[in-house]
């Protein structure tokens, strides 16, 4: 199976998972709120964010292992794959213990920092302990999940993800209806990933048994080398954690735990569609790692340019949907009391585009190298976000938090990372973003204005909102056809789309590369 086909298969599975996830969220969120309560659920979400920080104990090893497996596979080096497996399993055991220790430390420190009442602490204590224990136990098995991703075992990975999701939804519904409350959420979050990692081990034993044989004895120097590779990803993950998993903690710290659910419900559509827009370009990253391992610089440059354009096009379409429909979706879904208003929703919609520009630059830069420098940039961006969110949140409320994410990403992460990417590939910041900041923005701005003004003019028109959203997204896709026409599609479809004579947009991959030793 070709890399392009593997990418499309992986993307199809991810899109299916997202589609079912949206449907499940529509059903589960009202069910959770009715059986747990909005304040309690908000505190639970803050606790999950704290456990997310405890997961940083992996020092980025499991974030970077799929790329390292992919690179070793691209180099046809099974010996290196076995070495990575041996050291990854050892690191998983160490990380599991470190995670448990950090989770315990957070449990004793954070409630006082967040000024949580004793009843709130008692409410989430038991479920959080169950969740933390099962996550810690599953860390060693994650090396096999990383292996299946690196080998681009797309059918297994896609099926496993769907089964994991179905188990999570089923456990949540059954246990909630039987009165288990937050324990239902803990079990649904912990058991399915553990079972999926075990399935990855069994899959490896079945289809790649030779990789489980003749492992080398782990050495201290190789462990240090693996940690060094993961350190950049750790810095990056830490920055991402601060941006995407700190809002509930910040809101609780500011003294308004009841705002957590309002922020979460209003942001839900934008977050889902943002991740949905990243599925297709991100599905190409293991293949990009393999191409980099093969030393095919020109092809690497082409793939990076394509993924950046796809991030921009798909995120812009997602923003139009958020701006047009979220004002009627959230009240229908959970009620008017949980909708944060037009300004908050508009900032979420525009933030989808800004965040995707950052993502389209950072992801390939980390895959092909520069992981430590990219990670440092991401960590600095996360620190900038926390500072901006605390400052703007205190002055502007929830709108301040929504504004802080894209601002910190574009100013602190994207600009310096783009320079690193140019050093390795010859694709400059100007070549990648000139269209987005020029002709593309000029033609896209009227669509954004129409989408943003629609909820004001027609605040209760649900059916009309869906129709207008479809029309705006269709117009957007027509204007940006050159951003995706070079993908592998049927010739008849390519010719049909080509007759529409879309806006001619420069391909940044064809821009004249800079002279630099890393691109040779």
Q: What is the pLDDT of residues 330-344, one digit of tens each?
A: 988 888 888 998 999
Q: What is the DSSP string of 205-265?
A: HHH-GGGGSSPPPP-HHHHHHHHHHHHHHHHHHHHHHHHHS-HHHHHHHTT-TTHHHHHHH
Tell me how far apart the alpha carbons of residues 482 and 97 are, in angstroms, rounded to a whole number: 50
- Statement: residue 347 has pLDDT above 90: yes
Can you tell me the distance from the alpha carbon of 222 to that of 83, in angstroms, rounded to the nearest whole number? Answer: 9
Q: Which of 26, 9, 21 is nearest to 329 (CA)?
A: 26
Cα 196 to Cα 39: distance, rounded to the nearest angstrom: 32
Q: Tell me what pLDDT residue 114 has.
A: 66
What residue spans of 151-207 are helical by DSSP H? 154-177, 182-207
pLDDT at 388: 92
- Tell me how far apart the alpha carbons of residues 399 and 346 are, in angstroms, rounded to a whole number: 9
Arithmetic mean of pLDDT, 184-197: 91
500 pLDDT band, cuts 50/70/90, is very low
More confident: 436 or 52: 52
One DSSP character per residue, 417-471 reads HHHHHHHHH---HHHHHHHHHTHHHHHHHHHHHHHHHHHHH-TT-HHHHHHHHHH
Which residue has better confidence, 192 or 50?
A: 192
Task: Assess whether pLDDT exceeds 90 at residue 117.
Answer: no
Per-residue pLDDT, averaged over 130-158, amounts to 87
b or e along 91-125 (b: 16 or more beta carbons within 10 Å of the residue's beta carbon)? Answer: bbebbbebbbebbeebbeebbeebebeeebbebbe
Mean pLDDT (whole number) for 280-292: 75
Q: How many helices (H) and strands (E) does the chain have?
A: 21, 0
Q: How many CB atoms lie within 10 A of CB 511?
A: 17
pLDDT at 234: 75
Q: How far apart are the first and last CA of the chain?
A: 29
Q: Give me the residue label for tokens 């596979």.
A: 73
Question: Residue 97: which pLDDT band, with cuts at 50, 70 and 90?
Answer: very high
**Cα–Cα distance, 10 to 18 (Å, whole number):** 12
Residues 233-284: tens digit of each pLDDT: 677 777 777 777 788 888 888 888 888 889 988 998 888 888 888 877 877 7
This prediction's pTM: 0.66
**Nearest 10 degrees: Cα torsion 490, 493, 496, 500:** -110
Q: Residue 497 — very low, low, confident or very high, per pLDDT cuts 50/70/90?
A: very low
Q: What is the mean pLDDT of the chain?
A: 79
Contact 175, 183 (CB under 8 A): yes
- List all residues 6 or more positions away from 280 whose beta carbon is below 8 Å from its beta carbon: 7, 11, 310, 314
Unique residue bearing structure tokens 């899109």: 15
3-state SS string over 357-380? HHHHHHHHHHHCCCHHHHHHHHHH
Burial of 457 (0-12, 13-18, 19+ CB in 10 A): exposed
- The DSSP output letter for 514 is P
Q: What contacts 472, CB < 8 A, 6 or more positions away?
A: 320, 324, 447, 450, 451
Q: How far apart, in whole angstroms, are the C-alpha atoms of residue 374 and residue 358? A: 12
Nearest to 24 by CA among 179, 127, 193, 171: 171
Q: Over pLDDT 90: what percentage of the chain?
A: 13
Query: For 358-383, what is each residue's pLDDT tens digit?
Result: 888 888 887 777 777 887 888 888 88
Task: Identify the residue with better confidence: 2 or 368.
Answer: 368
Q: Determine whether 407 is exposed, middle or buried from the number of CB atoms within 10 Å of its CB (0-12, 13-18, 19+).
A: middle
Q: How far apart are CA 239 and CA 233, in angstroms?
A: 10
Q: Return d(Cα 256, Cα 253) in angstroms, integer.
A: 7
CB 344 within 8 A of CB 201: no
Give the three-class secondary structure for 414.
helix
Place of tokens 């790692």: 289
Residue % of the chain over a pLDDT of 70: 83
Q: Which of 325, 344, 324, 328 is nearest to 336 (CA)?
A: 328
pLDDT at residue 518, rounded to an integer: 35
Q: Which residues of 215-247 are buried (b: 16+ CB within 10 A; e: fewer)?
A: eeebeeebbeebeebbbbbbbbbbbbbbbbbbb
CA distance 322 to 325: 6
Q: What is the pLDDT of residue 519?
A: 33
């Amino acid at each position: 199976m070709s890399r392009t086909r593997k990418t499309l298969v992986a993307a199809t599975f991810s899109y299916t998972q997202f589609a079912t996830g949206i449907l499940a969220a529509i059903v589960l969120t009202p069910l959770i709120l009715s059986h747990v309560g909005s304040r309690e659920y908000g505190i639970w979400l803050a606790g999950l964010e704290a456990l997310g920080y405890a997961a940083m104990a992996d020092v980025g090893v499991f974030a970077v292992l799929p790329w390292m497996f992919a690179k070793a596979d691209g180099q046809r080096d099974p010996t290196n794959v076995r070495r990575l497996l041996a050291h990854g399993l050892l690191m998983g055991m160490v990380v599991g213990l470190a995670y448990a220790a950090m989770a315990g430390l957070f449990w004793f420190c954070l409630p006082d920092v967040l000024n949580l009442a004793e009843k709130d602490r008692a409410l989430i204590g038991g479920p959080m302990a169950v969740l933390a224990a099962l996550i810690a136990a599953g860390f060693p098995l994650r090396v096999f999940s990383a292996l299946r991703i690196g080998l681009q075992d797309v059918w297994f990975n896609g099926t496993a993800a769907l089964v994991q999701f179905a188990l999570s939804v089923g456990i949540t519904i059954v246990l909630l209806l039987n009165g288990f409350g937050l324990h239902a959420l803990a079990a649904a979050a912990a058991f399915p990933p553990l079972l999926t990692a075990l399935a990855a081990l069994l899959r490896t034993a079945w289809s790649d048994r030779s990789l489980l044989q003749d492992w080398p004895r782990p050495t201290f120097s190789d462990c240090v080398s693996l940690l060094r590779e993961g350190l950049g990803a750790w810095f990056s993950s830490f920055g991402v954690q601060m941006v995407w998993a700190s809002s509930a903690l910040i809101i609780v710290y500011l003294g308004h735990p009841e705002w957590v659910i309002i922020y979460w419900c209003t942001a839900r559509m934008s977050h889902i569609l943002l991740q949905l827009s990243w599925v297709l370009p991100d599905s190409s990253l293991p293949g990009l790692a393999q191409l980099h391992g093969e030393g095919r610089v020109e092809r690497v440059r082409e793939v990076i340019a394509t993924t950046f354009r796809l991030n921009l096009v798909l995120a812009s379409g997602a923003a139009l949907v958020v701006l047009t429909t979220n004002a009627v979706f959230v009240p229908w879904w959970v009620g008017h009391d949980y909708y944060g208003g037009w300004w908050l929703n508009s900032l979420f919609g525009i933030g989808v585009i800004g965040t995707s520009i950052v993502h389209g630059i950072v992801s390939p830069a980390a895959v092909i190298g520069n992981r430590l420098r990219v990670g440092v940039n991401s960590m600095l961006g996360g620190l900038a976000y926390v500072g901006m969110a605390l400052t703007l949140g205190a002055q502007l409320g929830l709108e301040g938090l929504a504004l802080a994410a894209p601002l910190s990403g574009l100013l602190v992460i994207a600009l310096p990372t783009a320079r690193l990417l140019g050093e390795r590939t010859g694709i400059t910041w100007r070549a990648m973003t000139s269209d987005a900041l020029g002709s593309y923005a000029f033609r896209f701005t009227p669509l954004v204005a129409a989408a943003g003004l629609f909820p004001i003019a027609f605040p209760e028109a649900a059916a009309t909102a869906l129709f207008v959203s479809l029309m705006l997204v269709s117009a957007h896709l027509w204007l940006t056809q050159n951003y995706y026409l070079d993908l592998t599609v049927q010739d008849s479809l390519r010719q049909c789309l080509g007759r529409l004579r879309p806006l001619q947009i420069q391909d940044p991959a064809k821009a004249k590369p800079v002279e630099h030793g890393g691109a040779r």
